Amino acid sequence: MSAIALFRAGLGLSLALAVAGCGINAVPTLEERAKSAWSEVQNQYQRRADLIPNLVETVKGYATQEREVLVQVTEARARASQVKVDASTVTDPQKFQEYQQAQNQLSGALGRLLVTVERYPELKSNANFLALQSQLEGTENRIAVARRDYIGTVREYNTELRTIPGRWIAAIFYPDAKPMETFAASSGADRPPPVKF
């Protein structure tokens, strides 16, 4: 091989290594990681939505006079299921907030249902109810973890879009890349719930 060919090969290899190491793939990599984390959040919300009909049916037999609370839970689940936000729309603050509000309403309705259950000691000891309640509590914990992970991945992605060289790379190679939304605490979450004995 001639010296010129070796020089060109070396230059080509150096250029390829420089491009690979400059972070050109950081924006799409972080975006995909954030989308994946969002999918896990949706997965956990779907798990919760799937458990609710079983919980409502179990409670229904004991708490027939508490129909209003059961109807609220069912309606809140239906509203939460109707609001769709997928990985491609997490950059839309309005749609994201609609989704978060629907999920918060469902959480509130479930909380009211569990308070209602306190009035029925025989229900609280029912094996089906205990199993469903345990699954629901586990799902709420999974939702919290999935949301935390999503917030972390979105923070990395949004930081990459706002800092140099990621900002330049995004402007040149990924002009459609937009910051993603994260969850905010629901109103009143900063106050502890009242405890009465």
The string of pLDDT tens digits covering residues 169-187 is 999 999 999 999 988 777 7
pLDDT at 92: 87
Tokens of 193: 């719930």
Return the closest-CA partner of residue 38 out of 184, 182, 191, 189: 182
Give the pLDDT score at 1: 64
Report, as ranges of residue numbers, the positions in the chain whose pLDDT lies below 50.
195-197
pLDDT of residue 10: 72
Give the integer Cα–Cα distance in Å for 94 and 177. 18
What is the C-alpha separation between 54 and 151, in angstroms, rounded?
30
Angle 191-192-195 from CA coordinates, rounded to 5°: 140
**Whose CA is closest to 114, among 137, 138, 142?**
137
User: What pLDDT, on a 0 to 100 scale, did the predictor assign at position 196?
Assistant: 46
**109 Cβ neighbours under 8 A, 6+ residues apart:** 69, 72, 73, 75, 76, 77
pLDDT at 193: 53
